[in-house]
A and B are shown apart, each in its own frame.
Chain A
Amino acid sequence: MSGERRAEEARAGWAMTGPALAAILTFFLLPALASLLLSFTDFDIYALGDIANLRFVGMQNYARLVENPLFWNAMGNSLLFVAIGTPLVVALSLCAAILVHSRWLRWRPVWRVALFAPYVTTLVATAVVWRYLLHTRYGLVNYLLSLFGAGPIDWLGSPTASLPAILIFVAWKTFGYNMIIFLAALQTVPRELDEAARIDGAGWFVRLRHVTLPAIAPTVLLVSVLTVAAMFQLFAEPYVMTEGGPAQSTVTILYFMYEEGFKWWNLGSGAAVAVLLFLCILAVTLVQLRFARRAGAI
């Protein structure tokens, strides 16, 4: 092929990728990097009015955050969401996937779509629905509990029940997504392997433990990593269902960042929270990867 043609191809390559790359740089990568710079300044409502009021303050934002009990409260809540929510969602999605994958199941596509449906619904809308479902007096959840003689639980009004209540909603909303990923992985496990173990007299649970799970271990890792990141990024759920309350019990790290930045206009301090959030996600993901490598999953 002629050199001229080569040059045209390269030009076209740049022309087609240029706009997207420029947009990614301007509206995604540079802002992300700028967060780090912003976190070293005292950018607040005065700097918003006149940029001359901006000062470089070094690590001061971080030092203040470390001393702020509200920050640690938000961090603690987010870690609770990660620590309880991740295993909960992964286990739930895996069970759902195993059920839908079952060879005895009829009308598989129908159940798959029904279980996936919550994931595509609008988060704010279903959060409003769940706020009502979890209503202390009229909610369907407490009604069902009352049939078993339990409750009523003040789901969204008590500082101890509010976080589990939001977790129930989050699990309901997201397990379908992971289920689809697990289903794809399960389909790659050869049926013969399972069949051979069955003929050898292995029970259902033993086969799950020693045949299926090892085969899909990398997918379990992938789903866990995705879920951890998602659990660190909860915002609309507490915003709609509890407004962070009661008694700050559902303020997540992202909710804290939102209030710091867009309610109090402490953008420097908010950026420091964003940086710490990113470091948290990165750290937990690296720990997961190392753990998985040691366990031989990847």
Chain B
Amino acid sequence: MRRALVTGFAALVALVTIAPLLWMVSVSFMAPGEAARFPPPLLPASPSLENYRQLFGTYGALRFLANSLFVSTLATLLALIFTVPAGYAFAKLRFRGRDRIFRLLVAALVVPGQIGMLPLFLELKAMGFVNSYAGVLVPWLAGIFGIFLVRQYCLSIPDEMLEAARIDGASEGEILRRIVLPLLTPVVVTLALFVFLSSWNDFMWPLIVLADQNLYTLPVALAALSREHVQDNELMMAGAVVTTLPVLILFLALQRFYLSGLLAGSVKG
């Protein structure tokens, strides 16, 4: 009895929580104007792909989808290349000043990225990176959180394993490639997922850096479109589905990695 009651209540709360997402999908299949009624219809009278056709046909959403895929993939690769070796080195390689630098990095985590946005914009303008993907990608190279995540994971690698490889004459680079990287698969997946999702969802920085509409990522394009088409609810819902469904599916497929990373990250406080 108690079980049914608690479970039923949880189901209700969960339903209310995901209702906006379900409704978003439902309305995206409605005919133009169908959702502008009272009471609001829950399901489309005759489901159609008209909104998606318009979105990809008239508004060229395919380009924005491709842009977003390109930016997020590149952001993920670059972030991994920059942060994974650094995280390992901070955990396992002995060099002077290592712990002091790492403490400094952790302290710097309290500074929100937005604080330096205006000077960063000027800096990138001087480098000629404004209105290009290079400018959008640059903040993902400076991922302190990723270094932190990888370092925590690397601390559990036994030193004996690395020493044995050194005695066998392996260079430090070989040790990272052949011995450490295979062990890091779970945390690399977690980090990749984090960066991909965050860069996909990112809005403020691409909005600032990108001026050319052809370069817009999905969120920036959707925000611009929604300001022009306040009344076209069905079209906007289709745009929201295209923007958010890829990351939602990615999360659902790899949620175990995502949640474990989230917890490792929150312990930092």
Binding site for B on A (CB under 8 A): 1, 5-6, 8-14, 16-17, 19-21, 23-24, 26-35, 37-38, 43, 96, 99-100, 102, 104-107, 110-111, 113-118, 120-126, 128-133, 135, 137-140, 143, 146, 172, 176-177, 180-181, 184, 222, 225-226, 229, 232-233, 235-236, 239-240, 243, 254, 257-258, 261-262, 267, 270-271, 274-275, 277-278, 281-282, 285
> Across the interface, which residues of B come within 8 angstroms of A184, CB to CB?
263, 266
Rounded to whole angstroms, the CA-CA distance of A124 and B38 in the bound complex is 25
Rounded to whole angstroms, the CA-CA distance of A193 and B118 in the bound complex is 52
Say yes or no: A128-B222 contact (C-beta < 8 A), given A138-B38, A275-B115: yes
Say yes or no: A31-B39 contact (C-beta < 8 A), given A16-B85, A124-B219, A233-B112: no
Considering only residues 75-100 of chain B, those with a C-beta below 8 Å from chain A are 81-83, 85-86, 88-90, 93-96, 98
Shortest CB distance B193–A (Å): 10
Prevailing SS type, chain A contact patch: helix
Return 27 A-B CB contacts under 8 Å, by A number.
A9-B93, A10-B95, A12-B89, A13-B94, A20-B85, A23-B141, A27-B120, A28-B139, A43-B122, A99-B6, A114-B14, A114-B18, A115-B17, A117-B248, A117-B252, A120-B201, A121-B244, A122-B219, A122-B244, A125-B24, A129-B237, A132-B233, A140-B23, A235-B114, A240-B226, A271-B118, A281-B110
CB <8 Å contact, B263 and A129 = no
Rounded to whole angstroms, the CA-CA distance of A96 and B14 in the bound complex is 10
Shortest CB distance B164–A (Å): 12
> Across the interface, which residues of A come within 8 angstroms of B96, CB to CB?
10
In the complex, which of the residues A27, A34, A102 contacts B142, with contact meaning CB atoms closer than 8 Å?
A27
Say yes or no: A120-B258 contact (C-beta < 8 A), given A10-B95, A14-B95, A105-B7: yes
> Across the interface, which residues of B come within 8 angstroms of A139, CB to CB?
40
In the complex, the chain A residue whose C-beta lies closest to that of B90 is: A17
B66 at interface, CB cutoff 8 A: no
Say yes or no: A104-B95 contact (C-beta < 8 A), given A117-B248, A121-B247: no
Shortest CB distance A270–B (Å): 5
In the complex, the chain A residue whose C-beta lies closest to that of B262 is: A180
Say yes or no: A29-B108 contact (C-beta < 8 A), given A20-B82, A114-B14, A122-B201: yes
Given pairs A27-B120, A113-B252, A143-B39, 8 additional interface contacts (CB within 8 A): A21-B86, A23-B141, A116-B259, A120-B248, A122-B240, A132-B35, A138-B233, A236-B223
Nearest 7 A/B pairs, CB to CB? A31-B116, A12-B172, A13-B95, A34-B119, A13-B93, A16-B85, A114-B14
Rounded to whole angstroms, the CA-CA distance of A143 and B55 in the bound complex is 28
Kindly supply a per-residue 1/0 record for chain B positions 217-250, scoring 1 wherever the CB is within 8 Å of any chain A CB and 0 otherwise.
0111011001100000100110111011001100
In the complex, the chain B residue whose C-beta lies closest to that of A146 is: B39
In the complex, which of the residues A38, A106, A146 contacts B7, with contact meaning CB atoms closer than 8 Å?
A106
CB <8 Å contact, A124 and B93 = no
In the complex, the chain A residue whose C-beta lies closest to that of B11 is: A111
CB <8 Å contact, A122 and B113 = no
CB <8 Å contact, A240 and B223 = yes
CB <8 Å contact, A12 and B173 = yes
> Across the interface, which residues of B come within 8 angstroms of A275, CB to CB?
115
Kindly supply a per-residue 1/0 record for chain B positions 1-43, scoring 1 wherever the CB is within 8 Å of any chain A CB and 0 otherwise.
0110111011101110111110110010000000111111000
